[in-house]
Amino acid sequence: MSAASASETLRAIGAEAIVRQTHISPANVTRLLAGDFSSFTPIQFNGFVTILEREYDIDLSEWRSHFPAVTENETQRTDKSKIHDDPFSNAARAEKQKRRNAAILAGLLLIVAVVTYVVIGTGTKEEKIELNNTAIEKAKANIASKSAVSSSPTLAQADAVQMTHQSEAADVAPEENTVLFDDLIIRPRSKVWLGVIDADSRKRQTRTSGEPWRLDGSKRWLIVTGHGYVTFDCGENDMTFAQKKRVLLLYEEGECREIDEAEFRSRNKGRIW
């Protein structure tokens, strides 16, 4: 399909229908249909075009060729406020922040190790140096706070924690009628945006990654994916998808079930995210 035919197809569908289908804001859909790309950042533009191509199976490469060649850094300096509304940009910035926090944590650990060696390791029995307890406590608190926002634990670490919890739980007699479910594991086959909602507390979490993500199997979850190349480990049953379009999933009581947009909205106060 040519770019002209693709544009005509979108105009024939209409801005209102496109907004309902893609959840792109009405103002942005209007600008796209009018060919007014000047107000978009490169990340916003590519994100919107990718969504339209995926949802309507059309080729908008001609749109891409006419988009102004502005670097991401220049766009961020001229209009940072637009980036905050872009989920793709937010995900990238979150990844950068995780790497920055990990580097800070490593630096702090190195400093503590050096100070400990100099103060304690090189001392003698005759000469002891008394450490400042307040400074040590502040360092510990700082390390703990940085560690809390560092990169997510690996799946192996999560498995070790779960085994510890299960071992502790085995020493305590379970209450009558208590049912324990295996954790839900999301396994992307490539890097993907994931949105997870606690169906009871409504707490939201997002992640853009190609690594497995373990969720508490005792809770109910609503899950939406950026694409459908992903596998869900649901206890003894696995669900594997291989599709370009997103997946909407409900997890409860150890079972996964794909749901449509209407049911997802009904369980999420009328919202898809």
The pLDDT value recorded for residue 132 is: 53
The side-by-side arrangement of strands in the sheet containing 221-225 is 204-209, 192-198, 221-225, 248-252, 255-258
Shared domain for 9 and 24, answered yes or no, is: yes
Q: Which domain holds residue 72?
A: 3-83
Q: Report yes or no on 127 lying in a domain.
A: yes
Q: 23 CB contacts (<8 Å, ≥6 apart)? A: 272, 273
The pLDDT value recorded for residue 226 is: 94
Tokens of residue 76, six digits? 């961020």
Query: Percent of the chain scored above 70 by pLDDT?
Result: 67
Of the residues 98, 131, 148, which one is the last residue of a structural domain? 148
Residue type at 43 in one-letter notation: I
Query: Percent of the chain scored above 90 by pLDDT?
Result: 45
Shared domain for 62 and 125, answered yes or no, is: no
Residue 73 scores a pLDDT above 50: no
As a whole number of angstroms, the distance between CA 7 and CA 1 comes to 10
In this structure, the number of other CB atoms found within 10 A of the CB of residue 181 comes to: 16
Q: Report yes or no on 272 lying in a domain.
A: no
For residues 23-49, give the mean pLDDT.
92
- pLDDT class of 80 with cuts at 50, 70, 90: very low
Shared domain for 193 and 230, answered yes or no, is: yes
Shared domain for 65 and 127, answered yes or no, is: no
68 compared with 196, residue with greater pLDDT: 196
Across 74-88, 121-135, 165-179, 201-215, which has the greatest mean pLDDT?
A: 201-215
In this structure, the number of other CB atoms found within 10 A of the CB of residue 246 comes to: 22
The pLDDT value recorded for residue 181 is: 86
Shared domain for 62 and 105, answered yes or no, is: no
Contact 1, 12 (CB under 8 A): no
The pLDDT value recorded for residue 127 is: 45
Q: Report yes or no on 154 lying in a domain.
A: no
The pLDDT value recorded for residue 70 is: 40
**Angle (nearest 5°) at CA 228 between 51 and 157:** 120
- pLDDT class of 119 with cuts at 50, 70, 90: low
Shared domain for 74 and 91, answered yes or no, is: no
The count of structural domains within the chain is 3
**Nearest one of 270, 189, 268, 260 to 222, comparing CA atoms:** 268
